[in-house]
Amino acid sequence: MYPDTNKVLGLLMRKDRMEPSERSSVLFCYFAQWFTDSFLRKHPLDPRRTTSNHEIDLCQIYGLDEPSTWALREGSDGRLKIRIMNGEEYPPLLYKDGNLDTQFFDDKAEVGLSFLRAGRAPLWEKAVNEQSDNALTKPDRRDYFYASGLDRAGSTVAYSAFNIIFLREHNRIAKLISEGEPSWDDDRIFETARLVNIRQILSVVVNDYIRHIAGVFPFELETGFAESQPWYRTNRISIEFNLLYRWHSLIPEELELEDGCNINFKDYRFNNKLLEEVGIESLISAASAQKAGCYGLFNTPSFMKEAELGGLKWARMFGVQPFNRYRERFGLDAYYSFDALTGGNRDVTNALKAVYSDVNDVEFTIGLLAEGRGEGELMPETVTRMVAYDAFTHILTNPLLASEIHTPATFSKVGWDIIQESATLEQIVKRNVQRPNAVTVSLAV
């Protein structure tokens, strides 16, 4: 018998002020959301299904399937469609004269983006409106929606900023490849540039993102060694991975812009006009300078209540096992008392006791957040271990890193050279903005 969901939500929600993270910036929070959105994807209509392709494939800018990709491609020189503003590339707009642009959506033909095709457009519009005070009824919001690969594009201004950066990076790589391989057609240039771009994001994820989470270990993406490991097989995203990755306690109530203005949650969501006014450089710098929330209980902002409730019910619907059972499955000792679980944190222990009668009943997602942690650790032991298992078996089994594929023949001579250069998030951002010296890119603060 599960405890009442309202009681459990009481363990999650922020009370008055945000408990700040010791070392993560809001950019880390935004990057985590943008990055994981490409593979943690519950089907919006059927909770038993996923829309995930299971791989890290930059579907945020390429779409989830062939028709989506075609809708986003320019059709020449291997490029993605763009719109030029002030001399810079931006994604094309999703709406034209108040309606979905037919190049991205045509219900009669099998054309367009996956989340709009086959009668899904009204459902997508309803879902966006529900989360955004009816953004799609307001021209200063709707007319700035970008056409991108996924349904949650634009869900924060930073999500849009990352999409813009990696769109520009694709077209930059495509140009270099077309110059290096003048006889190649659009298709070959496009597919090769896409592979190079995906290969780069794999480096960023390990060398910037995982390294930040791990803290002390100098992780470096290595190719070749995973193939001889017993876990080397095609990755499948599990329900547990989706649940453990809902790091909503990192979300701040407000984004503090460089000019001192504070932008609240409603204004930093589905608001590309704001992004264009503030500028990518300034937005990324502001998010790099502000502290994210600390991973843990009692730190999820109130506006995420519905999303949290959805996750809780989803886990129960599938009979996801309690936290202690996952500890054992991952080779860790089950906790024998609430106090042991929370590392002796009296407040958290008492709060858990008020909701669960036995430590073995503590639900998976709650235990992950409630667990005590060591000095300087970003996250507690169990979630860190599970993220590490999942992340490495996910990243290192990516087909692009297999010895036979990870060669100049796959990426082209030019693409291979690009891959050999280091590609940090900071370098990729800086080479795709007009004022590289005006931007600070940091997952740590």
| Whole-number Å distance between alpha carbons of 80 and 287 | 27
Answer for which of 39, 115, 144, 247 binds ligand HEM (CB under 6 A) is: 247
Bridge-based pairing state of the strands 83-85 and 88-90 = antiparallel
**CB neighbour class for 407 (10 Å; exposed up to 12, middle 13-18, buried from 19):** exposed
User: Smaller CB distance to ligand HEM: residue 224 or 310?
Assistant: 310
Answer for which of 242, 410, 412, 440 binds ligand HEM (CB under 6 A) is: 242
Stretch in the footprint of ligand HEM (CB under 6 A) among 34-42, 166-174, 222-230, 376-384: 34-42
251 and 140 in contact (C-beta within 8 Å)?
A: no
Give one DSSP letter per residue of 199-221, joined into a string.
HHHHHHIIIIIIHHHH-SS----
- Secondary structure letter of residue 291 according to DSSP: E
Answer yes or no whether residue 248 interacts with ligand HEM by CB under 6 A: yes
x-or-dash string of contact with ligand HEM, 126-145, rule CB under 6 A:
-----x--------------
Answer yes or no whether residue 29 interacts with ligand HEM by CB under 6 A: yes
Answer yes or no whether residue 394 interacts with ligand HEM by CB under 6 A: no
- Three-state DSSP class for residue 339: helix
CB of 243 to ligand HEM, least distance (A): 8
| Whole-number Å distance between alpha carbons of 361 and 321 | 9
| Whole-number Å distance between alpha carbons of 23 and 21 | 6
Stretch in the footprint of ligand HEM (CB under 6 A) among 28-36, 77-85, 87-95, 271-279: 28-36
Residue nearest ligand HEM, CB atom distance:
42
* N- to C-terminal Cα separation, the chain: 42
User: Smaller CB distance to ligand HEM: residue 36 or 321?
Assistant: 36
Q: Considering only residues 249-268, where is the footprint of ligand HEM by CB under 6 A?
A: 250-251
Answer yes or no whether residue 30 interacts with ligand HEM by CB under 6 A: yes
Answer yes or no whether residue 317 interacts with ligand HEM by CB under 6 A: no
User: Smaller CB distance to ligand HEM: residue 162 or 245?
Assistant: 245
Answer for which of 40, 195, 312, 362 binds ligand HEM (CB under 6 A) is: 40
**CB neighbour class for 361 (10 Å; exposed up to 12, middle 13-18, buried from 19):** middle
CA distances from 339 to 133, 244, 336 (A): 42, 22, 9
x-or-dash string of contact with ligand HEM, 44-63, rule CB under 6 A:
x-------------------
- Three-state DSSP class for residue 146: strand
x-or-dash string of contact with ligand HEM, 144-183, rule CB under 6 A:
-----------xx---------------------------
CB of 57 to ligand HEM, least distance (A): 16
In 3D, which of 279, 277, 357 has the Cα closest to residue 322? 357
Longest dimension (CA), the chain: 70
Answer yes or no whether residue 18 interacts with ligand HEM by CB under 6 A: no
CB of 304 to ligand HEM, least distance (A): 6
User: Smaller CB distance to ligand HEM: residue 238 or 403?
Assistant: 238
Answer yes or no whether residue 288 interacts with ligand HEM by CB under 6 A: no
In 3D, which of 61, 253, 252, 264 has the Cα closest to residue 167? 61
In 3D, which of 11, 83, 24 has the Cα closest to residue 294? 24
- Secondary structure letter of residue 63 according to DSSP: -
Stretch in the footprint of ligand HEM (CB under 6 A) among 25-33, 99-107, 338-346, 366-374: 25-33
In the complex, which residues of this chain contact ligand HEM (CB under 6 A)? 29-30, 32-33, 36, 40-42, 44, 131, 155-156, 242, 245-248, 250-251, 269, 307, 310
